Amino acid sequence: MMNSTKSEKGSLASLDLKSLLSILREVDPASALARRTRELLTASLENQPPQKIKGTKERKFLTIGTATANDYDGVYFTIQSIRLHHPEILDEVEFLVLDNAPTGPCAEALQDLANWCKNYRYIPYRSAQGTAVRDLLFREAAGEFVLCIDSHVVFVPGSLARFIEYCKHNRTTNDLLQGPLLSDALEALATHFSPKWSHGMYGVWALDERGKDASGPPFEIEMQGLGVFGCRREAWPGFNPRLAGFGGEEGYIHEKIRRGGRTLCLPFLGWMHRFQRPMGTRYNVSWEDRIRNYLLIYDELGLDPTPVMSHFEEFIGSEPARALVAEAKAEIAGPFHCFDAIYCINLDRRRIAGRRCANASQSWEFSARCAGSPPPIRR
């Protein structure tokens, strides 16, 4: 009996959050299995200290941070490329990896990088999913400056050393710093985004001829893709914590920076990005998230949202676009919009109470930001 209990506990501990929740829906709430399942769920809540943060936070000049979701290969080759081709900077940088899928198949391998990669830190994060979680990289960074990169980017040799040198000569800057994207043919492809709507996104790749000369001076741009961007940590204005899912930050963070600084292209900071995904994307992309994000952004910046609505009505159709716009507008206008997060806690374990919480969140227009938690364990 004792061996059976140990085996059961071990099997439960290996399950992901979705599987544990499925067990609770099926078993007797008073059973030992339900009790053990609730213990595991409670232990996994994000309001407790994370159990698997790896690495030591040490003060460095530059934090190179990346947020990833089930992309071990990308993280591995990006960091190894920096270590192999930019050895002159390694004593001045820390690598910070934010795992936005810490229960996924890549989590253990990402943690293990800390065992042999100097100045590497791994942080699991699942309280929210999406590209805006990159905000946490700036909050957790130990560096004076932060360079935020996608988890599948490589840099031109010497570019990171020049970036550090530039930052050291501009230690009080409030500017957003970016560089030109290179094509797979190793040629300058894009120095910025043109402020145009296209295919459900604000911004179209464009090339300023000045960006072809790596020895040329920095120049101002209106916006750029966020595969690589950096700034002084204390100057970071932050992403809206209500943003969720994929996309919307391009142009938005540039406008926030411009209200106290500049948005610059550094011609020497050349980078390449893996766009092809033959195995498919490993994160959810939805028009619901995209439209909601843009409307949240326009509301925060005090901008007229008409261009957002017009584009999506044309791109995905008037009826679905208007429904998603109405839903997002109702949330923004609702009385709970001022809260960054809302938790509904079912204290008495009954499913009907949980359904009431869900129904209330929909009625009060905050279901997009409502996270449930399992009931406390009564001993």
Q: Is the separation of the CB atoms in 110 and 72 below 8 Å?
A: yes
238 assigned to some structural domain: yes
Shared domain for 235 and 90, answered yes or no, is yes
| Dist. CA 294–CA 268, nearest whole Å | 31
Shared domain for 259 and 195, answered yes or no, is yes
User: How many CB atoms sit inside 10 A of residue 75's CB?
Assistant: 23
Q: Residue 315 CA to chain centroid, in angstroms?
A: 25
- Widest Cα–Cα separation across the chain: 74
- Residue 249, SS3? coil
Q: Which helix (H) or strand (E) holds 140?
A: helix 135-140
261-297 burial, b at 16+ Cβ within 10 Å, e below that, comes to bbbbbbbbbbbbbbeeeeeeeeeeeebbbbbbbbbbb
What separation in angstroms does the CA of 307 have from each of 20, 298, 301?
43, 10, 14
Please report the pLDDT score of residue 302 as a whole number. Answer: 95
Q: What is the mean pLDDT of residues 48-56?
A: 58
Please report the pLDDT score of residue 285 as a whole number. Answer: 78
First to last CA, the chain: 22
Shared domain for 99 and 180, answered yes or no, is yes
257 assigned to some structural domain: yes
Give the burial class of 364: count Cβ atoms within 10 A of its Cβ; 0-12 exposed, 13-18 middle, 19 or more buried.
middle
Shared domain for 217 and 345, answered yes or no, is no
**The two three-digit tokens of residue 57, written as one number:** 């936070």
Give every CB contact of residue 4 below 8 A, 6+ residues apart in sequence.
none
278 assigned to some structural domain: no
| Dist. CA 136–CA 140, nearest whole Å | 6
Shared domain for 237 and 338, answered yes or no, is no
Shared domain for 87 and 173, answered yes or no, is yes
Shared domain for 118 and 238, answered yes or no, is yes
Tally the domains of the chain. 3
Q: Residue 232 CA to chain centroid, in angstroms?
A: 19
Decide which of 273, 304, 322 is a domain's last residue: 273
70 assigned to some structural domain: yes
Any idea what the CATH number is for the domain that residue 165 is in? 3.90.550.10
CA quadruple 185, 195, 74, 60: dihedral sign: positive
Q: Is the separation of the CB atoms in 265 and 163 below 8 Å?
A: no
Shared domain for 88 and 210, answered yes or no, is yes
Shared domain for 125 and 203, answered yes or no, is yes
The residue among 147, 74, 133 whose CA lies nearest residue 106 is 74
Please report the pLDDT score of residue 211 as a whole number. Answer: 96
Please report the pLDDT score of residue 17 as a whole number. Answer: 65
368 assigned to some structural domain: yes
- Is a pLDDT exceeding 50 seen at residue 231? yes
pLDDT in tens, 98-122: 999 998 899 999 999 999 898 999 9
Higher confidence at residue 259 or residue 378?
Answer: 259
Mean model confidence pLDDT for the chain: 85
pLDDT in tens, 263-317: 999 999 999 999 887 777 666 778 999 999 999 999 999 999 999 999 999 999 9
User: How many CB atoms sit inside 10 A of residue 335's CB?
Assistant: 9
285 assigned to some structural domain: no
- Most confident by average pLDDT, 95-109, 120-134, 166-180, 356-370: 166-180
357 assigned to some structural domain: yes
Shared domain for 143 and 226, answered yes or no, is yes
Q: What is the mean pLDDT of residues 313-337?
A: 91
Q: Please give the single-letter amino acid code of residue 138.
A: F
Give every CB contact of residue 125 below 8 A, 6+ residues apart in sequence.
46, 98, 99, 100, 102, 133, 136
DSSP assignment of 180-234 equals PEEPTTSSEEESEEEEEEETTEEEEEE--GGGG-TTSPPEE-S---TTEEEEEGG
Shared domain for 145 and 31, answered yes or no, is no
| Dist. CA 211–CA 228, nearest whole Å | 15
- For residue 327, give its domain range: 293-373
Listed range (32-36, 39-43, 284-288) with the worst mean pLDDT? 39-43
56 assigned to some structural domain: no
Shared domain for 260 and 150, answered yes or no, is yes
